[in-house]
Structure 1
Amino acid sequence: MNPTIESHFENLNSPDKNTQYEAYNQIIEATQQPVDWAYEVWDQLKEDLNDPDNHRRSRAAQFLAHLAISDPEKRILQDFPAIWNVTYDKKFVTARHSLQSIWRIALAGSEQKELVVNHLVDRFHACEEEKNVTLIRSDILQALRNLNDEVNEEKIKRMAMELIETVTDPKYKKKYLAIWK
């Protein structure tokens, strides 16, 4: 692994929050494109999905979502349930950050895209009883929008519009439609 990237991962454990944040941003930036070091950190990130520290769980889910494009072995398909589980984290901010980045897994290929989209659609319908249903639904629709912006598939937009049509409250329907304007 490149020494700079290695130091960013080490800096995630710094006692200084600014150093941690800078390291996080550098890793996110590096993983916008495929990288050759994904498997050097993969197993540790997978372990971190269950770490007692919610920041570690959140970062692990986000980093794995970003590393999906660097996963020719398609490990993400097997590890997806553990990542998806973090979107239900007891700490809502952790759950939300994970949910907001999970769409990136869909950029890795058609199998991954189908898996992610199906989970997002199912969650949109099933989250009615969750505490922050409107935020969760907004995040799901934004995730679909982000994915559509990357892959430009009419099917994804159509699916999002169908989800929005199921919403009965006009205030939230309007809010959700604004995501797609």
Structure 2
Amino acid sequence: MDRDIQAYFENLEAKDKDVQFEAFNTILAATNEEVDWAYEVWDQLKDWLTDPDNHRRSRAAQFLSGLAISDPEKRMLNDFSALWAVTKDPKFVTARHSLQSIWKVGLAGQEQKEMMMQYIVDRFQNGANEKHYTLIRYDMIVGLKKLYDQVNDEQIKQTAMELIETEEDSKYRKKYLSVWK
């Protein structure tokens, strides 16, 4: 692994919050492109998904979502349910950060995209009992839009529109539709 990236991973544990923040942003930015070090950190990140520290859980979910494009072995197909679990974290900010990055898994390939979409559709349709569910639905619609903007797959847009149509409250339906304007 690149020594710089290794140093950034070490800096995630630094006492100085600014050093942590810089490390986090640098790693996150690196995962926007394909990298050759994904498997050197994959298992550690997978372990962090269930770490007692919510910052680790959040970082792991965001990093793994980004690293899905650097996963030729398609490990994400087996590990996605553990990643998805963090989108339902008891700490709402952790859940939300995870959910807001989960769309990146859809960039990894057709199988990954279809799997992620199934999870989103299921949660959109069956998550009305969740706390802050309108915000969660909004984040999922925004994620679908980001994925659509990257891959230009009309099926994603159609799915989003079908989900939005199921929203009974016109105020929220309008809010979700505004994402697609």
TM-score by length of 2: 0.99
Shift of 1:168: 1.1
Partner of 1:95: 95
Partner of 2:84: 84
Aligned mates of 2:154, 2:74 — CA distance in 1? 26
Q: How do 1:90-129 residues align onto structure 2 when only pairs under 5 Å count? A: 90-129=90-129
Structure 1 residue 131 corresponds to structure 2 residue 97: no
Query: CA offsets per residue over residues 106-134 of structure 1, 9 Å max, x none?
Result: 10110000000111111111110001011
Partner of 1:17: 17
Query: CA offsets per residue over residues 13-42 of structure 1, 9 Å max, x none?
Result: 001111111101000111111000001001
Partner of 2:147: 147
- How big is the alpha-carbon RMSD for the aligned residues of Structure 1 and Structure 2? 0.6
Aligned mates of 1:156, 1:75 — CA distance in 2? 23
TM superposition outliers: structure 1 runs of 4+ over 4 Å: none
Structure 1 residue 73 corresponds to structure 2 residue 73: yes
Alignment length, in residue pairs? 181
Paired amino acid for 2:142 = Q
Structure 1 spans left out of the alignment, 5+ residues: none
Aligned mates of 1:73, 1:84 — CA distance in 2? 19
Shift of 1:153: 1.0
Partner of 2:30: 30
Query: CA offsets per residue over residues 36-85 of structure 1, 9 Å max, x none?
Result: 00010011001000100000000001101100100111111111110000
Q: How do 1:47-62 residues align onto structure 2 when only pairs under 5 Å count? A: 47-62=47-62
Structure 2 spans left out of the alignment, 5+ residues: none
Partner of 2:166: 166
Paired amino acid for 1:11 = N
Q: Any idea what SS the aligned residue of 2:128 has?
A: helix
Partner of 2:180: 180
Aligned mates of 2:90, 2:41 — CA distance in 1? 25
TM-score by length of 1: 0.99
Q: Any idea what SS the aligned residue of 1:65 has?
A: helix
Aligned mates of 1:155, 1:132 — CA distance in 2? 27
